[in-house]
Structure 1
Amino acid sequence: TKKPTTPIKRAKIKNEQQTFDEPQNWRTVYERIREYRTTVTAPVDTMGCERLAEDKVPEKVSRFQTLVSLMLSSQTKDTVTSAAVKTLQSSLPGGLTLNSILQVDEKVLDSYIKSVGFHNRKAKYIKDAAVILRDTYNGDIPNTIEGLTSLPGVGPKMGYLALQCAWKINAGIGVDVHVHRISNRLGWCDTANGLPEDTRKQLESWLPKEYWRPVNPLLVGFGQVTCLPRGPKCGECPVSEYCPSAVTAVKKVKKVKKEVTVDPGDHHVKVKLEEDQHD
């Protein structure tokens, strides 16, 4: 008997709007990070999900590959996701297409993606989603956020990114852990104890719509190389002077007494020295 799998928890889309006042100097902060990212590359720049679909395939296949890439990316590093997608593209009979996913055995699919997080669940989600796409969407992926998030294993972040990357529809901001963390550190929202969905709603309440698509790869890359979850590199950060969460290293100076014994001839002389020591 096959054991039931525990579904990945994902935020549901709610209609209520969460507003947030437009942060002071946000344009300056955005532009400084953007300029910084033109010279400091990150994994998302070459291995982000929007870059993993093959070039010389039909648009419908390209959209499907983008969706699969997003489904694999949850709680998985871009480098690992990229490698798993390439394995599917090269190993599945006929390549990574809807039909090849429908035909492949779930256990075989799982073996191809075993490097990604929660690969067992994702293999089932991808197989189940493929059936829905075949039966309900004429073999294509949905072009609405409601349709995309109705698929197993697809949450709002994946849905909005799929719309932007696969359909060129800018319906919302894709908020992952990096965007969630950095937006709160910068004071662009106050949802540190909430969900990424809360962050999305607050960002969308003040961030102009033309920024909704580029803000994700901008902040994701910034979070991968500089504004790290632990030990952020505030000393290298181009916006530390504007960031309320910036940490600056302050050296504390304390006096340390040393006692040295000197023996000049027959006499023992104790000399006490004081020196500065930096932590």
Structure 2
Amino acid sequence: MCSPQFSMNYVSMRMVTRSQSRGPGAGPPGSGEEAATIQRGGEASAEGRKSYHPVKRQRKAQHLNVAYEASDGEKGEGTKPLKAPSWEPQDWQQQLANIRTMRSGKDAPVDQLGAEHCYDPRVPPKVRRYQVLLSLMLSSQTKDQVTAGAMKRLQAWGLTVDSILQTDDITLGRLIYPVGFWRNKVKYIKQTSAILQQHYDGDIPTSVAELVALPGVGPKMAHLAMAVAWGTVSGIAVDTHVHRIANRLGWTKKMTKSPEETRAALEEWLPRDMWREINGLLVGFGQQICLPVRPRCQACLNQALCPAARGL
């Protein structure tokens, strides 16, 4: 007869747990609810792809504090409930409602020329996703109007992975000029396109970690690519507009020094169902009213609620 202790140990050995994580080969949990979201088609499967993790950029990817939106399959038994934020800005809901009112016209450059408007809807889904990524790479330190112009010239030339790799650097430079840092972007576009061809069958990666490992792709671009190309909300996309406005409104517990610090600070308290809209909302607000220099505080509905406006 087995001892009670032996029986307990035997039962313990039989216990198993179910993993809630998604394997690296699982497809992206796209929502499919946004008009701007690109349909995956048959190319969305990650089967047969080789993960690309260059050694020299691995450290950067490891240090990203990425918050991922759980898919429907991940919201079942065993998931931890979201905790209420320990801190949130004063008057942020009224400030946000005022910004929505000021942005109701949807007439800022980002509304017509942002990444969700820069791809050719007539091409296959895999090519659309590639075009979304390239538009984001071109947009860094560049006005939306200039990025849109470069994308139109590239599309007229032939904007696919193969066509870009067959284009010489001088011609590619002429096509994207005058985007900011166009010489560096020629190099990054060529390097990234080669990686996509060799490791992703011409498609773009399905995770933030793999996207930021590509040459010339930063966290803001990666989160926007996930949202626009894959329909997945992986985090808040923070550029200079969002970074500036969040600090002016007091939406960070303390002043932040970089967009990545701002992203982490916002994700600590801003409800997840607002993560997708906040980039376009604040970018357009920053393009029209909350300008980098000489903000139009007199025309802002948040003038009485904004700490920065009271100090001007």
TM-score normalised by structure 1 residue count: 0.80
- Give 1:79's aligned residue: 145
SS in 2 for 1:56: coil
1:37 aligns with one of 83, 103, 113: 103
- Give 1:167's aligned residue: 230
Cα distance change, pair 20–52 in 1 and its aligned pair in 2 (3 A): farther
Kindly provide the amino acid, as one letter, of the partner of residue 181 in structure 1. R
Kindly provide the amino acid, as one letter, of the partner of residue 60 in structure 1. K
Partner Cα separation in structure 1 for residue 271 and residue 177 of structure 2? 39
- Give 2:48's aligned residue: none
Structure 1 segments of 4 or more deviating over 2 A?
11-17, 190-193
Aligned-pair identity (%): 49
Cα distance change, pair 187–80 in 1 and its aligned pair in 2 (3 A): same
- Per the TM alignment, residue 191 of structure 1 is displaced from its structure 2 partner at its CA by 5.7
Partner Cα separation in structure 1 for residue 63 and residue 213 of structure 2? 14
Partner Cα separation in structure 2 for residue 124 and residue 15 of structure 1? 24
2:136 aligns with one of 70, 75, 78: 70
**Which runs of structure 2 are paired with 1:1-279 in the superposition (5 Å)?**
14=63, 21-39=87-105, 41-90=107-156, 92=157, 95-190=158-253, 192-247=255-310
Partner Cα separation in structure 1 for residue 144 and residue 167 of structure 2? 24
Kindly provide the amino acid, as one letter, of the partner of residue 76 in structure 1. T
Whether the 8 Å CA contact 2:304–2:310 is kept in 1: the answer is no
- Per the TM alignment, residue 113 of structure 1 is displaced from its structure 2 partner at its CA by 0.8
SS in 2 for 1:206: coil
For structure 1, which segment, 96-105 or 140-149, has the greater mean C-alpha deviation from structure 2 after superposition? 96-105
Task: Provide Cα deviations, 1:111-160, integer angstroms capped at 9, x if missing partner.
Answer: 11111010010011000000100111111000100110000000000000
- Per the TM alignment, residue 60 of structure 1 is displaced from its structure 2 partner at its CA by 0.5
Whether the 8 Å CA contact 1:173–1:200 is kept in 2: the answer is yes
- Give 2:33's aligned residue: none
Partner Cα separation in structure 1 for residue 218 and residue 308 of structure 2? 29
- By relative contact order (CA 8 Å, sep 6+), the higher-ranking structure is 2
Whether the 8 Å CA contact 2:137–2:216 is kept in 1: the answer is yes
- Per the TM alignment, residue 14 of structure 1 is displaced from its structure 2 partner at its CA by 2.8
Cα distance change, pair 16–59 in 1 and its aligned pair in 2 (3 A): closer
Whether the 8 Å CA contact 2:138–2:147 is kept in 1: the answer is yes
Structure 2: gaps (5+ residues):
1-59, 67-84
More helix by share: 2
Cα distance change, pair 202–137 in 1 and its aligned pair in 2 (3 A): same
Cα distance change, pair 20–242 in 1 and its aligned pair in 2 (3 A): farther
- Per the TM alignment, residue 103 of structure 1 is displaced from its structure 2 partner at its CA by 1.0
TM-score normalised by structure 2 residue count: 0.72
Whether the 8 Å CA contact 1:13–1:197 is kept in 2: the answer is no
Cα distance change, pair 231–149 in 1 and its aligned pair in 2 (3 A): same
- Per the TM alignment, residue 39 of structure 1 is displaced from its structure 2 partner at its CA by 2.5
Structure 1: gaps (5+ residues):
1-10, 250-279
Aligned residues: 236
Whether the 8 Å CA contact 1:191–1:198 is kept in 2: the answer is no
Partner Cα separation in structure 2 for residue 191 and residue 98 of structure 1? 43
Partner Cα separation in structure 1 for residue 192 and residue 203 of structure 2? 11
Instruction: Calculate the aligned-residue CA RMSD, in Å.
Output: 2.0
| Structure number with larger C-alpha Rg | 1
